[in-house]
Amino acid sequence: MASSIFVGLSTIDIVYGVDEFPAANTKTEARSQEVLVGGPATNAAIAFAHLGGKATLATAVGRNALAAVVHEELEKHKVQLVDLSPGFEGIPVLSSVTVDRHGNRNVVSANATRVTFPVAKVDASLCREARAVLVDGHFTQACQAWASAAHTMGTPVVLDGGSWKEGTEELIKSVHTAICSADFLPPGCASRDEVIQFLKDRGVANIAITNGADPVQFVSGQSSGTIGVPQVEVVDTMGSGDIFHGAYCFFASTGRGFIESLAEATKVASESCRYAGTREWMKHLPAEHS
């Protein structure tokens, strides 16, 4: 079974389904309410495990009142946990997510920097066994430590470039594959071409930039082009980018090439948008998809 490690953020997401986003100083009754475990690395790890891989998540959970919610979710989806901050007793990262009937969403989240944890230690045996290590840039020191160790061992490091963060410049030194959103803009960059050149100049071998339903732009060595995104009736886009990253890691870890893995990941991420939340798609896209 192919294995990968996912390093980064875990959150408790309180998700409300509404007809319309509320205006200022008004109250809105939600059509639905869910409490989910989220975060870029976490959603990616769960998607990877669902598709048939062995996923390990390195994140800060601690022993606060809500830690059990995270533990139960990871156990349910067969994701191994490496707790970066087992002694943390504060309030975990909470996100309030509102999704309207068109699938648009608003997110309010607490900053991950308020979660304290000791200097991260890398499990060398896990790192050596992994086919890939994905880092989402949150918990900077931990991402850098795991990425550096993986790079030294020859294990490909995948960057989930949702946005430019403090510490990303250092992190990129260990990155083999960068999958970035259109919001990922390094200092001095104002276009996709500038972002791609920035990453190439720093030794990143494979680069992809996603932009919602628009084609995925990629560069790999002398190859470049775009990959179309399957068009679906969108119910909810929440977590689709994270699911894309988890699916990419799964297909890449099973021996598919960069471009083929991207193409397969677009199918999975698009399919996830047909359903509410970040887990419902799993009931309709079983592991046999691989």
The CA-based angle 157-161-165, given to 5 degrees, is: 110
Distance CA 149, CA 210 (A): 27
3-state SS string for 185-232: CCCCCCCHHHHHHHHHHCCCCEEEEEECCEEEEEEECCEEEEECCCCC
The CA-based angle 86-90-91, given to 5 degrees, is: 115
Indicate whether 93 pLDDT > 90. no
Write down the pLDDT at residue 261: 98
3-state secondary structure of 6: strand
Question: Assign residue 53 a region: left if phi > 0, alpha if psi is -120 to 50, beta otherwise?
Answer: beta
Classify the C-alpha dihedral 37-42-48-54 as positive or negative: negative
Write down the pLDDT at residue 187: 95
Indicate whether 288 pLDDT > 60. no
> For 48-87, how does the pLDDT look when each residue is reduced to its tens digit (9 = 90+)?
999 999 999 999 999 988 899 999 999 999 999 999 999 8
pLDDT band at 290 (very low <50, low <70, confident <90, very high): very low
How do 3-7 and 54-59 pair as beta strands?
parallel
What is the arithmetic mean of pLDDT over 145-152? 97
> For 223-258, how does the pLDDT look when each residue is reduced to its tens digit (9 = 90+)?
999 999 999 999 888 899 999 999 999 999 999 999
The structure's pTM equals: 0.93
From 198, 174, 173, select the one nearest 184 (Cα to Cα).
Answer: 198
Could you tell me the fold of the domain covering 3-21+31-106+116-289? UDP-N-acetylmuramoyl-L-alanine:D-glutamate ligase (3.40.1190)
Residues 6+ apart with CB under 8 A from 110: 91, 93, 94, 95
What is the arithmetic mean of pLDDT over 140-162? 96
| % of the chain exceeding 70 in pLDDT | 98
Distance CA 240, CA 217 (A): 17
Question: For residue 53, what are its two tokens?
Answer: 């891989």
Residue with tokens 């601690």: 62
